[in-house]
Structure 1
Amino acid sequence: MKASLRHLVLVLGDQLDRGSAAFDDFDPATDAVWMAEVAHEATQVWSTQPRIAVFLAAMRAFRDELRARGWTVHYRALDEHPHPTLEAALAADLAALRPAKVLAVKPGEWRLAQSLPAICRETGVAWAERPDRHFYCDADDFEAWAGKRREFRLELFYRWLRKREGVLMDGKEPVGGQWNFDAANRGSFDRRGPGLLPAPRAFPPDERTRGVLALVATRFASHPGRLDGFDWPLDPAQARAALDDFIRHRLPLFGRYQDAMWEGEPWLYHSRLSVALNLKLLDPREVVQAAVRAWEQGHAPIEAVEGFVRQVLGWREFVRGLYWKRMPGFLDDNALGAEEPLPAFFWTGDTDLACLRDALRQTLDLGYAHHIQRLMVLGLFALLLGVRPRAIHEWFLAVYVDAVEWVELPNVLGMSQYADGGRMVSKPYAASGKYIQRMSNHCAGCRFRPDEATGPRACPYTTLYWDFLARHEARFARHPRTALQWTHLGRKPSEELAAIRRQATELRAALAAGSRPEHGPKR
């Protein structure tokens, strides 16, 4: 019997790309789109309510847009079907719809890239996969660049891709005579703080989104997070408005203050565009072109524009290439032998450490923290404490609205936790409380002192920093980029170092005793 449905085009929650290759030859008379909301995607890691709501609301907006075109969309809403997983929902619909072929852009997560084609094979339906042209660099391009390298460095990849794409280039040379302007992008606020900041463009929920928020608040009531301030862009028009707002109001000072932090200020000069990019509501080329145009028109300085372009054209493409090159082994990397449990306060924000409290509560409430909070507050604490890398990876994947595994996993395991042993970054991002003091105002209102490593007022970051250096001295003492830190360790009197290590041991024991999370699946 001939199948009446030619192509069933499978669209995942992070593939809301209006220009997807999966739609290239779509015929509304013979083809249909398939999408599904399933509880497993919210509970495999204990996702925050804002993260769940972002995905569901953006998916439903995409569904309604396709239906407005006159396309058939088989959409399985969370509260309208019994299937717990994407695989189960797909298997049921393949049996009912019997398409000749399932078409899909390559899934962005290794797990689904294996399981979804397997479901098609089991049900006797052909699976056809098309490349994801949302990105500048596909897996073959990255493999060609990587060659036989054992270590992978952003700077080399970034220069290669900038040359290939002709971005911020003056012939064969970078504009401004430099490939990056990091030295100009390490500013912090003085004691007066950031002053009056332009509020980022907000997108109040419409009726459809309010329905999603009500569903999430009821169905996932035990999950952390708040929905009363939910205002993320959920379609391309809103995403472009958010891009325009960033370019106009925050890009000019983004570079200078991209590493700065300030109590109670979640947005500062950051773009808030990672959600729209990772759901594919925005094309990265459009984002890069808008930033470059701002420099060409004299609206933003080169250091701000180059720093932002490096995040989108450079880092985002780099981590995706590494993810596909190194999975699935990447997931179990643990080069530093870290085995501590994740502290319970990562799920509550209940800690006396002012910097951690601010970043955690902001994260749990909004599903957002900017990159330096993620790397040099949250990730740094886990690194110094010695948290098992997979545990902190799963936490990061659960809590952020922009978290999809291809971008989150390399950032956490490779960059933040050095779990890959240096394949991705040349040295661990280890620092004491003095770094946080320099880049923020958190220490001024904290009961701990960043310059003290022992005693009741000792900053846990500082205590754990020196303990980290001592624990990993054999690995890093002769490393050309870390030798100075370990030289400083060698100047510590043995009695002082012993006291530091005792205090670090006591801190770990106290945190481990209360490590069972108040939120999340019991493992």
Structure 2
Amino acid sequence: MLGRCVKLRLILGDQLNHLHSWFFQPQDDVVYVMMEVRQETDYVLHHAQKIIAIFAAMRDFARRLRVDGHRVHYLVIDDADNRQSLPDNLDWLLAHYRATAFGWQAPDEYRLDRQLADYAAALPIPSTMDDSEHFYTTRDEAAQIFAGRDSWLMEHFYRRMRVKHGVMVSDTGKPAGGQWNFDHDNRESWPGIPWEPADLRGRHDHSALWQTIQASGAKSFGEPNAANFAWPLNHEEALQQLGRFVEHALPHFGKFQDAMSFKAWRLFHSLLSFAMNVKLLSPQTVVDRVQSAWRDGAVPLASAEGYIRQILGWREYVRGIYWHRMPGYDELNAFGHTTPLPWWFWDGQTRMRCLATAIGQSLEHAHSHHINRLMVIGNFALLAGLSPQELHRWYLGIYIDAFEWVELPNTLGMSQYADGGLLATKPYVSSAAYIDRMSDYCKGCHYDKKARTGDRACPYNALYWDFFDRNRDQLASNQRLGMVYQQLRRMDDGALAALRERAADLRSRLQEL
């Protein structure tokens, strides 16, 4: 006899929070269910390290629950009983345990939220969805804050969060240092000194797991690095990584958070986004640790504020936009861009050194910091007219920290302006000048960063001016783009015609660049 089981509880692969109230005390009549399924490996083509990291962290989490006395039924990817989808596995498990109730935590992705809600609604037994107990805000809190407003300004949201949660503010709600935002101090290029801190993350050998994933038929791309795997598997490893970041990298993060270099893929970034997004580490833990380091005088105010803004501000803000705009946000395409991604998005083999570096780092590490994602890869995609939907799927697949709730608004909204300005106040695009100012990518590149036309002219230059020229009707009235359109109006007809011709030629042969 299997014994009596009152409730089956599902834990998804990004719900690895051992401090959740579910786990306060073992209960003999509760079975926790975790599963590695092709449904989740296959809905987009994923980086090998992303699949390995999630499965390895899930297995470690299941081990922890068992050690703590909980009952766990874990379906590995090649289990003979694994039906490879959430509904089919749940049907079998509910019958297997003769479950009298079903519970799950609120998913962070809309597709899973609907799938599980629809599944539970059809069950003949009681079912309950509990909060994941991870975020600062509820799903609809941002929508409540911005109710009745035409625009959702992140800065307004961020200040509200700082005051509400008492982060870097006085007793009267005034910001530390007399201002809310030190973004103007966060834009220095990296001179190479100080050198980026050593990568002190623990290493794991997941060769056996990787062989199992391959044997299951799950497809992937990118470098698996299975024998020397550096991403954290549990809360303790994530805490160690947080401590090392705060000590060795955060003091320099503020100045150089927008810098890029072919010499240093990490620079002073924390690499904590994966741990946070699968809930090995809570945002509150991270913010509290950074705030404490600033109070102790170990971290400059601009560095602490700049980092906290990414978590308490931006991370919660884009989640609010995601839940307010879904379903349908993923289909937005304000400029009607439909060009497929060039093949070098999958191998990094392009003569544009900035893109070869940013994509190459992504393929090697399943990670690239936000300026590479926004101002190199995303910048080119928007200027070249690549499909925002294809780019969204690429970002969702390649980055180890990419889950739709956070990736989709960043890609379609911030990077591609495909939502027509619901999130960003202007398109974030640039010519080669910005990339050269913030990186060492242009040195030694096949293309000339200063030239606008000609075979060796940097593609960003002609594409930049052509983008604004082609989209005058949509963008010319944007006050933040006034200077751009003043410069366009000053161009003589011949120069503008040459830029249009160069841009059209580039867009016709993207595979060759």
Instruction: Output the CA distance in 2 between the equivalents of 1:95 and 1:488.
Output: 69
Letter in 2 for 1:427: K
What's the CA shift for 1:223? 2.6
Report the alpha carbon displacement of residue 488 of structure 1 after superposing the two structures with TM: 1.3
Q: Provide the secondary structure at the position in 2 that maps to 1:250.
A: helix
Code of the aligned partner of 1:126: P
Q: CA 1:45–1:221 in 2, change beyond 3 Å: closer, same or farther?
A: closer
Q: Does 1:216 align with 2:213?
A: yes
More displaced stretch, 50-59 vs 220-229: 220-229
In the alignment, structure 1 segments of 5+ residues that lack a partner are 516-523
Question: Which one-letter code corresponds to 2:37 in the other structure?
Answer: V
Partner SS for 2:31: strand
Map of 1:518 onto structure 2: none
Cα distance, 1:378 vs. partner? 0.8
Is contact 2:26-2:69 (8 Å) kept?
no
Name the SS of the counterpart of 2:442 in structure 1: helix
Q: Deviations over 1:417-437 (max 9, x none)?
A: 111111111111011111100
Partner of 1:225: 223
Q: Which whole-Å CA distance do the structure 1 matches of 2:87 and 2:504 have between them?
A: 44
- Quick check: 1:347 aligned with 2:350? no
Tell me if the contact between 2:77 and 2:213 (Cα under 8 Å) persists in the aligned partners: no
Letter in 1 for 2:73: H
Aligned to 2:77: 78
TM superposition shift of 1:224: 2.5
Deviation at residue 195 of structure 1 after TM alignment = 4.8
Match of 1:68 in 2: 67
CA–CA distance in structure 1, aligned partners of residues 193 and 124 of structure 2:
60
1:27-426 residue pairs with structure 2 within 5 A? 27-81=26-80, 82-170=82-170, 171-190=172-191, 193-205=192-204, 209-216=206-213, 218-219=215-216, 220=218, 223-227=221-225, 228-426=227-425
- What is the CA deviation profile of residues 432-481 of structure 1, one whole-angstrom value per residue up to 9, with x for unaligned ones? 11110000001011011122121011111112111111111122222111
Q: Which amino acid aligns with 1:139?
A: R
Change (3 A) 1:85 1:150: farther
**1:125 Cα deviation after fit:** 3.3
Distance 1:95 1:501, change over 3 A: farther
Shift of 1:505: 1.4
Distance in 2 of aligned mates of 1:389 and 1:324: 19
- The corresponding residue for 1:521 is none
Question: In the alignment, which residue of structure 2 is the partner of 1:494?
Answer: 493
Alpha-carbon distance in structure 2 between the residues aligned to 1:109 and 1:494: 49
User: How much does 1:314 deviate?
Assistant: 0.5
The Cα shift of 1:88 comes to 2.2
The answer to whether the 8 A contact 2:140-2:323 is kept is no
How big is each residue's C-alpha offset from its partner over 1:290-326, in whole Å with a ceiling of 9 and x where there is no partner? Answer: 1111111111110000000000111111111111111
Cα distance in 2, alignment partners of residues 165 and 121 from structure 1: 36
Q: CA offsets, 1:227-250, max 9 Å, x none? A: 144211110000000000000000
More displaced 10-residue stretch of structure 1: 216-225 or 297-306: 216-225
- Find the aligned partners of 1:505 and 1:168 in 2 and give their Cα distance: 50
C-alpha deviation, 1:194, in angstroms: 3.9
State the distance in 2 between where 1:452 and 1:53 align: 44
Q: Does the CA-based 8 Å contact 2:6-2:30 persist in structure 1?
A: yes
Mapped to 2, the partners of 1:194 and 1:124 lie a distance apart of: 64
Task: After TM superposition, give the deviation of residue 3 of structure 1 in Å.
Answer: 9.3
Secondary structure of residue in 2 paired with 1:129? strand
**Counterpart residue identity of residue 226, structure 1:** P
Instruction: Name the SS of the counterpart of 1:186 in structure 2.
Output: coil
Q: Residue type of the partner of 1:469?
A: F
The residue type paired with residue 221 of structure 2 is H
Distance 1:225 1:87, change over 3 A: farther
2:98, 2:123 → 1: CA distance? 9
User: What's the Cα RMSD here?
Assistant: 1.8
Greater CA drift, 483-492 or 155-164: 483-492
Amino acid at match of 1:263: F
Residue range with higher mean Cα deviation, 141-150 or 387-396: 141-150
Deviates more, 1:91-100 or 1:331-340: 91-100
User: Does the residue aligned with 2:188 lie in a helix, a strand or coil?
Assistant: coil
Bigger shift: 240-249 or 375-384? 375-384
How far residue 91 of structure 1 moved from its aligned partner, in angstroms, is 2.4
Secondary structure at 2:104's aligned position in 1? Answer: strand
Partners of 1:473 and 1:149 in 2: how far apart?
26
What does residue 475 of structure 1 align with?
474
- Residue 453 of structure 1 corresponds to 452
| 3-state secondary structure, aligned to 2:201 | coil
**Distance in structure 1 (CA, Å) of the matches to 2:95 and 2:497:** 66
Runs (4+) of structure 1 exceeding 4 A deviation are: 217-222
* Distance in 2 between residues matched to 1:396 and 1:98, nearest whole Å: 41
Moved more, 35-44 or 177-186: 35-44
- Name stretches of at least 5 consecutive residues in structure 2 with no aligned partner: none
The amino acid of 2:176's aligned partner reads V
2:46 touches 2:220 (CA, 8 Å); kept in 1? no
Question: Is residue 132–residue 138 contact of structure 1 (8 Å, CA) maintained in 2?
Answer: no
For 2:31 and 2:219, the matched residues in 1 are separated by 34
Which segment is superposed worse, 53-62 or 332-341?
A: 332-341
- The residue identity in structure 1 corresponding to 2:452 is A
Alpha carbons 1:21, 1:132 under 8 Å: kept:
no
CA distance 1:5–1:126, change in 2 (3 Å):
same
Letter in 2 for 1:88: D
> How many residue pairs align between the two structures?
508
Task: Say which SS state the counterpart of residue 190 (structure 2) adopts.
Answer: coil
Q: CA deviation at 1:90?
A: 1.9
Paired residue type of 1:104: W
**1:3–1:100 CA contact under 8 A, matched in 2:** no
Cα distance in 2 for partners of 1:345, 1:375 equals 18
Matches of 1:16 and 1:184 in 2, distance apart?
Answer: 35
